[in-house]
């Protein structure tokens, strides 16, 4: 189908085509924004995904460097999610992920970023938080999740997490912060087992 040419001397036709093109541009911009949101959002827990988290972490490191603020990352690993999936099915595992995400979000300040990094791992960015604040926040979250009532199909299921802390330094990069917090989480897990 050949496109109709617009008569450049017809101002009504030109105005109509400009309005149509502006509408099309607005529709495409909205679609790009929505696709960008989806690329940075975990659909199950409706929190930022790893990509969205890394963007937030980059910004936080830049603020630490620029303003000298204290900040930390918490690396959260859910204990026993595989056992829940194997014993009660993936629906129960998904419900556990959603419940933990809700507890994490409601257990930190509004300005803090909670994200699902993948599988049974979450990341939390604490702005204006030194080691002591990060320690207190991590302890409170561990206790909060351990105390929560969680059940699936009438079966009470125990939830628990291990949380590692990575204090953010001005010369850090996102991968270094993630590795530091991840390593600290594994130390916590090993201490709990041993």
| 55-69 pLDDT per residue, tens | 999 999 999 999 999
pLDDT at 1: 44
pLDDT confidence bin for 21, thresholds 50/70/90: confident
pLDDT confidence bin for 4, thresholds 50/70/90: confident
CA dihedral in degrees (144, 94, 59, 73; nearest 10)? 40
Computed over every residue of the chain, the mean pLDDT equals: 91
Give tens-digit pLDDT for 118-146.
999 999 999 999 999 999 999 999 999 99
Give tens-digit pLDDT for 66-103.
999 999 999 999 998 999 999 999 999 999 999 999 99
Phi and psi torsions of 154, nearest 5°: 80, -5
Q: Kindly report the pTM of this predicted structure.
A: 0.82
What are the C-alpha distances in Å from 138 to residues 45, 57, 85, 125? Answer: 20, 18, 25, 11
Q: Catalytic residues, which ones?
A: 120
């Amino acid at each position: 189908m050949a496109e109709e040419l617009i008569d450049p001397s017809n101002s009504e036709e030109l105005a109509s085509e400009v309005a149509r093109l502006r509408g099309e541009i607005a529709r495409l911009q909205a679609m790009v924004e929505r696709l960008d949101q989806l690329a940075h959002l975990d659909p199950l827990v409706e929190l930022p995904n790893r990509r969205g988290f890394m963007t937030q972490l980059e910004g936080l490191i830049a603020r630490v460097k620029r303003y000298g603020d204290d900040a930390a990352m918490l690396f959260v690993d859910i204990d026993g999610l595989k056992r829940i999936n194997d014993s009660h099915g993936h629906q129960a595992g998904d419900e556990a992920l959603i419940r933990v995400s809700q507890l994490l979000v409601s257990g930190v300040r509004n300005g803090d970023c909670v994200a699902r990094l993948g599988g049974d791992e979450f990341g939390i960015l604490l702005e204006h938080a030194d080691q002591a604040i990060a320690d207190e926040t991590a302890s409170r979250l561990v206790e909060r999740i351990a105390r929560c009532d969680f059940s699936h199909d009438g079966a009470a299921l125990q939830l628990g997490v291990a949380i590692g802390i990575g204090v953010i330094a001005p010369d850090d990069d996102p991968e270094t912060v993630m590795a530091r917090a991840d390593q600290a989480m594994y130390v916590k897990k090993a201490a709990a087992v041993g």
